[in-house]
Amino acid sequence: MAQNNQTMVNEFILLGLSNDLKTEIYLFVLFLVMYLVTMVGNFLIIYLIRLDSRLHTPMYFFLSILSFVDICYMNSTVPQMLIHFLSSKKSIPFYSCVFQLFISLALGGTEFFLLGAMAYDRYVAVCFPLHYTVIMHGGLCMALAAACWAAGFLNSLMETIITFRLPLCKDVINHFACETLAVLHLACVDISFNKIMVTFSGSVVIMLPCSLVLFSYAQIVRAILRIRSTRGRRKAFGTCASHFTVVSLCFGATIFTYMRPRAASSAEHEKMIALFYTTVAPMLNPMIYSLRNKEVMSALRRALGRFSEET
């Protein structure tokens, strides 16, 4: 099916999560509910931040971008997965697969770098509170956001080229979406070098932001321990608790997926972990930031109050 390093595959078959019709119907309902909750939650976060001037700060600027990334990230895979639950033929055209892989990788990488930028923002807020507005000015926030998008998309472009430059002999992907390692296993040739490059690329995207997060929180913990009053410590910790929870979920799942030995993993386990960071994490993010954040909850109450007055 392949000649001169060019694939002749026109479409791929996705094995998905199950072959049982009854199970697929249950999964359709479950993931549809999760999809709707994610969309509503993240759109609500963006709406509240735009609506309430009290939330026009660097922290919520990055949070609104994170919510937008989560919306796009979930839309890159979940709608197709929902359609496939109710379809007998679970196929995806070749170039749609390329686009899906590129977009999902770009958005995933952007989210990791955003979490690193948000950790730096919390570091400045806790360690340099008097200079916070001077350091985290609008220009720096925009530059950090642009750098996060650029880094995510550049890494995705490299991984996509590494993946699809190979001649492909098979057209059945043992996954619910076009995922890098699942597509690499369709190649007609040895993929050892490609796996090394993908692992290196993924390590950079994960470890650079993770290192920034670890450095930031190490400094934050040191600063909090120097605060004498219990109330001051609680306030300082409260500004970071939501972000630290999200960071732990996202980085924990991804590091577990890509950093463990390949011999210890299986396709089914990888699909379950991929489901977590493509569907569960984007759904939990707005819940964590709203339920654990007094400012967001206050903004929501004010918005509901205005709505009730208008009606």
DSSP letters, 264-298, are: G--HHHHHHHHHIIIIIHHHHHHHHHHHT-HHHHH
Model confidence at 216: pLDDT above 90 = no
Task: Give Cβ neighbours of residue 34 (< 8 Å, ≥ 6 apart).
Answer: 78, 279, 280, 283
Helix axes 281-291, 230-258, angle to 10 degrees: 180
Query: Where does 12-310 sit in CATH, by number?
Result: 1.20.1070.10
Task: Kindly list the domain boundaries of the chain, sorted by start residue.
Answer: 12-310
Q: State which amino acid sits at residue 119.
A: A
**Better-scored residue on pLDDT, 36 or 292:** 36
Least confident of 227-231, 272-276, 280-284: 227-231
- CA 32 from chain centre, in angstroms, equals 19
- With cut-offs at 50, 70 and 90, classify the pLDDT of residue 258: low
Query: How far is residue 167's CA from residue 281's CA, in Å, rounded to a whole number?
Result: 34
Residue 296 sits at φ, ψ, to 5 deg, of: -65, -45
- With cut-offs at 50, 70 and 90, classify the pLDDT of residue 4: very low
